[in-house]
Amino acid sequence: MDALSDVLSMLRVSSVLSSRFEGRGAWAFRFPAYQGVKFGGVLSGRFHLWIAGSKAPLMLEKGDFYMLTDGQQFCSASDPERVPLDGPAAYRSIRGADGVVRYQGDDGAGDHEQVSIASGRFTFENDVTEILLRHLPPLIHLRAADLGSHALSRLLDLLEWETSGLQAGADVASSSLAALVLVHVLRTYLASTPQPEGWLGALADPKIGGALSMMHAQPGERWTVDSLASSVGMSRTAFATRFRRQVGCAPVEYLAQWRMTIARSALKHSEEPLTDIASRIGYLSDTAFSIAFKRSTGQSPGRFRVLSREA
C-alpha cells in the first residue's frame, strides 16, 4: 500500500454528501467554521467562493471542483457584492422533500444564470488529519479546463446523479463517492502543483516519498536514518535535512508517530492482543510498547482501549 492510501485508510473517513444546491438570480450565503474537509463540484453555471476575510472571491465554473481544508468561515455567491445571508439557516428553511436546496434570489442587476452545485463534507475519526492536511492551502481549486478526461470529470456525473433526489442506497453510494473525490482531488492537486509543501509534497519527491512508502509498508522494520538514507540512495545528512524540511520532523520521529497511530487504531477498532500490536509496529515486547504508548498518549494501551470503546 502506498503512503497516501495508507494514511487515508487509517483516517477512517466519515464522508457525508450533502444535497444539491440550485440557485437562481442574485444570492450570497455565509457559512460558519466547520470540522473536517468540505468539497464540491459545479454541475452547471458559475458562482463565487471565498474564505471569510479574503478580498479576492474565486470564480468557479461548470466542471470545476473545490476543496476547503482548514475549517475557516467561507462564503458563496452569484453576486459577491451582496450582503451574505446565514447559509445553514436559509438552507434548512427551503430544503425540498427530495433533499435539494432551491433558492430564488432577486433578479437584480446583471445576468445571473442558474447555478447547480453538489457538495459534501468529510469528518475524520482520529488524529491523522494533521499529517494529511498540513500545509495544504485553505482553498484548492481544480478547473474543468485542466481536468479534461480526468476521473474527476466522471465523478462529477455521478455526483449529479446521486444528488438528483432520494436515490435507493444513497448513504452507501454517497460515502464511497465522496471518498473517491477526496483521493482524486488530492492526486490532482499533487500532480498540478509544481512544489507542494508539507507531507503531501514529500510524497511527490522520489527520494523522500520513497522513504515514506517504505516506513508505511514495513512499520515494524527497525528503520534508522542510515538505513532509510541508504535505501533511497542519499547520504545520511542530506536525507535527514531534506526529510525534516519537507515532512516537518525527523525520520525516526515520524516513524514513531506513525507507529502510535497504527496502535491507537488497532486498540480502538480491534481485539488484537497487545503483544501482536507491539510486534507488528516494531517493539520487542508488549512492555516496551506500553511504555512508549503511555509516553505518547498519557494512557496505558489497556486504558486507552477501554475509554475509546466508551466514547
CB atoms < 10 A from the CB of 140, how many?
A: 19
Per-residue pLDDT of the chain (311 residues; tens, 9 = 90+): 577 777 777 766 665 667 789 999 999 999 999 888 899 999 999 999 999 988 789 999 999 999 998 889 999 999 999 999 999 999 999 998 888 899 998 875 556 789 999 888 877 766 666 677 776 888 999 998 877 657 887 888 887 777 766 565 556 666 677 778 888 888 788 777 777 778 888 888 899 999 999 999 999 999 999 999 999 999 999 999 999 999 989 999 999 999 998 999 899 889 999 999 999 999 999 999 999 999 999 999 999 999 987 76
130 with 263, same domain: the answer is no
227 with 86, same domain: the answer is no
- 57 DSSP 8-state letter: P
Q: The C-alpha cell of 7 is what?
A: 494514511
Residue 168: domain span: 11-196
Residue 6 lies in a domain: no
278 with 142, same domain: the answer is no
Question: What integer pLDDT is reported at residue 145 of this predicted model?
Answer: 82
| pTM, two decimal places | 0.77
Structural domains in the chain (count): 2
Cα within 13 Å of Cα(274), Cβ side:
15
Domain end call among 162, 196, 230: 196
Query: Are 56 and 139 in contact, with CB atoms under 8 Å apart?
Result: no
Q: Helix, strand, coil: what percent of the chain each, to 5?
A: 45, 20, 35
First to last CA, the chain: 30
Q: Which amino acid is at 163?
A: T
184 with 219, same domain: the answer is no
Question: In terms of Cα–Cα distance, which of 49, 40, 168 is closest to 116?
Answer: 40
24 with 172, same domain: the answer is yes
Query: Are 79 and 112 in contact, with CB atoms under 8 Å apart?
Result: yes
CA 177 from centroid of its chain's CA atoms: 14
145 with 67, same domain: the answer is yes
Q: Which residue has the cell 481544508?
A: 69
Alpha helices by DSSP H, listed for 193-250, are 198-204, 206-217, 225-231, 236-247
Question: In terms of Cα–Cα distance, which of 69, 181, 184 is closest to 173?
Answer: 181
101 with 224, same domain: the answer is no
Q: Which residue has the cell 471542483?
A: 65
Q: The C-alpha cell of 293 is what?
A: 504508548
> CA 125 to CA 268: how far, in whole Å?
11
Residue 82 lies in a domain: yes
162 with 234, same domain: the answer is no
> CA 185 to CA 23: how far, in whole Å?
25
Residue 5 lies in a domain: no
The CATH number of the domain holding residue 267 is: 1.10.10.60
> CA 303 to CA 134: how far, in whole Å?
29
Stated length of the chain: 311
Angle at 109 between CA 108 and CA 114, to 5 degrees: 70
Cα within 13 Å of Cα(296), Cβ side:
21
284 with 146, same domain: the answer is no
283 with 260, same domain: the answer is yes
Question: What integer pLDDT is reported at residue 154 of this predicted model?
Answer: 81
Residue 258 lies in a domain: yes
CB atoms < 10 A from the CB of 301, how many?
A: 21
Domain end call among 196, 216, 238: 196
83 with 232, same domain: the answer is no
Residue 143 lies in a domain: yes
130 with 190, same domain: the answer is yes
Question: What integer pLDDT is reported at residue 16 of this predicted model?
Answer: 67
Residue 292 lies in a domain: yes
Question: In terms of Cα–Cα distance, which of 103, 118, 95 is closest to 26?
Answer: 103
The CATH number of the domain holding residue 31 is: 2.60.120.280
Domain end call among 196, 220, 248: 196
Residue 261 lies in a domain: yes
Residue 184 lies in a domain: yes
